[in-house]
Amino acid sequence: MVYLVLFLFSFFLTYFIKKYAIKKSFVAQVNERSSHTIPTPHGGGIAIATTWFSGLFYLFMTNQIDIQLFYALLAGALISIVSFLDDIYELSPKLRLLIQSLVALTGLYFLGGLNSIPFGIIEFSNIVITSTFSFLLILWFINLTNFIDGINGYVGSEFVFLGIAGLVLFHESLFGILVVAVLGFLFWNYNKAKIFMGDVGSTLLGYNVAIFTIYYANQEAVNLWVWITLFGLFWFDATYTLIRRKLNGEKLSQAHKKHAYQRLTQAGWSHFEVTNYAIALNLLILVLIYFIPNIAISFVSTIVLLFISMKFVDAKKPFE
């Protein structure tokens, strides 16, 4: 019942935010980085964040969430607030990075850091290595999710997938909350988007998956690679694109439209087709993880799958 209530809350709150944004002219304008052609209301991530934190408090009050995980995830509220202000006032990148860093450190404090990083037959447990890795992982997941948020339904469907994958693999109510919080918004964003998520939603979701990665890795070290593999579609595209742009001698801070999903839309694919293509890839990744007990094989298989997919995109729209 709580899932239905939270879904309806997210659904109707997104609708009212959409109406209010239109009334107040809070719309995402078309620019050189945009994949949309019509100014569209933004701020739908407020509904995701509000529903998510409401669900978290419900789990806390009913003793259905580890207290360490609860406080680590709760720290993400500051990212949502700052990102909401950024959506309106365009805060400086340095200020955003400072806040993200403080939140990352806070989340790591509540989780007790990252215990170890398994890498084949080697396991790194040096606190300097694990702390640096986990800190950078949080910052990268926050920002790459924001970079990737560009077409209808793309980020929303990714996190519905991650929530479902979490339910399948870890059987925690937490992931049901994530699914319904995003799904209520996604109804208004999928296919022909009537509202966008905005930074307030994308940065929070990126932070959440980073916290999941570290928390479950501390339960069982191999889970670090389970979550990195599950989130592979996003980080592979973002990281591979960043490397290619660097090799091209481009200024990395400059806006661009070279991510795989952007190039597919430039090649003539609709947002609907690109998002469904991503969903299919994610389902294949989940199948690999679920049916292959060795996470190293699953991870390598996923990287191969994503590399082949990237070459498919290159054939449709070359990386220039």
Task: Write out the DSSP string of 166-206.
Answer: HHHHH--HHHHHHHHHHHHHHHHHSSS-SSB--HHHHHHHH
Confidence (pLDDT) at 20: 79
Give the Cα separation of 276 and 282 in Å (integer). Answer: 10
Residue whose C-alpha is closest to residue 94's, from 82, 105, 106: 82
Predicted pLDDT at 38: 60
Per-residue pLDDT at 282 exceeds 90? yes
Residue-wise pLDDT for 175-211, tens only, equals 999 999 999 999 988 877 688 888 899 999 999 999 9
Which whole-number Å values give the CA distances from 44 to 182, 279, 307, in the listed order?
10, 21, 32
* Residue from 40, 19, 24 nearest 271 by CA: 40
Domain ranges of the chain: 2-316
Q: In whole angstroms, how far apart are CA 270 and each of 76, 233, 237?
A: 33, 19, 19
- The pLDDT tens digits for 30-76 are 545 544 556 667 778 899 999 999 999 999 999 999 999 999 999 99
More confident residue, 247 or 8: 8
Residue 151 pLDDT: 83
CB atoms within 10 A of CB 94: 8
* pLDDT given for residue 51 in this prediction: 97
228-277 pLDDT, tens per residue? 999 999 999 999 999 999 888 888 777 778 888 989 988 989 888 999 99
Q: Model confidence at 120, in pLDDT bands (50, 70, 90)? A: confident
Q: How many alpha carbons lie under 13 Å from residue 201 in its C-beta half-sphere?
A: 34
Which pTM does this prediction carry?
Answer: 0.92
Q: Supply the mean pLDDT for the chain.
A: 90
Q: What letter would DSSP give residue 117?
A: E
Coil, strand or helix: which one is 120? coil
